[in-house]
């Protein structure tokens, strides 16, 4: 009977599990970009109280907050192709599983960031708008040059939390066929029945990616602190 736990297998599995990092990072980076765009548009819609769209976003916020991530992924994976086929005649059955993961997590993280960004925009004093208009800036120029940078600084801690949570939640992508870090760990460990060692290798990789993300956000917080952190 072989050993129950073999530490040397962690090293043996590591390169194979590491091969899933590009797909995991692709999911992460793509979702971050999509969620940022979604959040900006959604926050403006919520602040302006645009009819219908505001109500849809409110329902989405409740849905993403109360439904487990894996169920949201399954809903997109199984229901979206049927809806696209029935209403638009689009055959989505041959789409890559990666695309469904990006859509599901893009909506989920986008809505979460939208709520934080909306609160951050509302936290910017009204005098900033008046000063910008007095300088001759348009509404769009005022928002992107004056308001958004200040709101971004406020929402950075929320953005960091959303991002660090996202990198871990990508682990469920294997359940619909993605070849990410978790998928490769399960496959590697399952070959000879030593799953724990493969999971430890995956844990090390996820921990390292998380540390990098935290480091990036600390640099961003330092850049956008405008010297505030040095005075407290």
Residue owning tokens 């496959």: 187
Would you place residue 1 in the very low, low, confident or very high pLDDT band (cuts 50, 70, 90)?
very low
* Domain membership flag for residue 39: yes
Q: Is the pLDDT at 187 greater than 50, yes or no?
A: yes
Could you report how far apart the first and last alpha carbons of the chain are, in Å? 61
Which tens digit of pLDDT belongs to each residue from 96-144? 999 999 999 999 999 999 989 999 998 888 888 888 888 888 888 888 8
Q: pTM of the predicted model, to two decimals?
A: 0.87
CATH number of the domain bearing residue 111? 1.10.3720.10
Domain region containing 151:
22-181
Model pLDDT, residue 218: 92
Model pLDDT, residue 167: 94
* Domain membership flag for residue 127: yes
3-class state of residue 50 by DSSP: coil
* Domain membership flag for residue 17: no
* DSSP string computed for 184-224: HHHHHHHHHT-HHHHHHHHHHHHHHHHHHHHHHHHHHHHHT
* Domain membership flag for residue 188: no
Could you give the percent of the chain with pLDDT greater than 90? 61
Model pLDDT, residue 2: 56
* Domain membership flag for residue 62: yes
Q: Is the pLDDT at 10 greater than 60, yes or no?
A: yes
* Domain membership flag for residue 60: yes
Structure tokens at 158: 């929320």
**Average pLDDT in the 16-42 region?**
95
Could you give the percent of the chain with pLDDT greater than 70? 95
Using left for φ > 0, alpha for ψ between -120 and 50, and beta otherwise, residue 95 falls in: beta
Which tens digit of pLDDT belongs to each residue from 43-100? 999 999 999 999 999 999 999 989 998 999 999 999 999 898 888 888 888 889 999 9
Which run of H or of E encompasses 147? none
Model pLDDT, residue 128: 85
Whole-angstrom Cα distance, residue 189 to residue 178? 17
Residue owning tokens 């609160």: 119
| Mean pLDDT, all residues of the chain | 89
Q: Are 162 and 113 in contact (CB under 8 A)?
A: yes
Contacts of 71 (CB under 8 A, 6+ apart): none
Contacts of 95 (CB under 8 A, 6+ apart): 81
* Domain membership flag for residue 107: yes
* Domain membership flag for residue 88: yes
Within 10 angstroms of residue 83's Cβ, the number of other Cβ atoms is 11
Number of folded domains that form the chain: 1
Could you give the angle at the alpha carbon of 33 between the alpha carbons of 30 and 34, nearest 5°?
85
């Amino acid at each position: 009977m072989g050993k129950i736990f073999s530490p040397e297998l962690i090293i043996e599995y590591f390169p194979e599990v590491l091969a899933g990092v590009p797909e995991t990072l692709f999911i992460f980076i793509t979702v971050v970009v999509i969620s940022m765009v979604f959040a900006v548009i959604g926050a403006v819609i919520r602040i302006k109280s645009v009819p219908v769209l505001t109500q849809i976003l409110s329902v989405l916020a409740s849905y993403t907050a109360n439904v487990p991530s894996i169920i949201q992924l399954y809903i997109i994976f199984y229901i979206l192709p049927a809806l696209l086929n029935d209403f638009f005649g689009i055959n989505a059955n041959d789409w890559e599983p990666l695309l469904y993961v990006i859509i599901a997590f893009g909506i989920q993280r986008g809505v979460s960031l939208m709520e934080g960004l909306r609160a951050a925009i509302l936290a910017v004093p009204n005098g900033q708008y008046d000063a910008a208009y007095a300088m001759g800036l348009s509404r769009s120029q005022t928002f992107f040059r004056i308001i958004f940078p200040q709101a971004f600084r406020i929402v950075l801690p929320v953005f960091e939390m959303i991002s660090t949570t996202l990198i871990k939640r990508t682990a469920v992508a294997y359940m619909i066929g993605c070849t990410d870090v978790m998928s490769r760990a399960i496959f590697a460990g399952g070959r000879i029945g030593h799953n724990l060692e493969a999971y430890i290798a995956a844990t090390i990789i996820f921990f390292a990616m998380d540390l990098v993300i935290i480091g990036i956000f600390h640099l961003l917080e330092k850049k956008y602190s405008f010297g505030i952190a040095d005075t407290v």
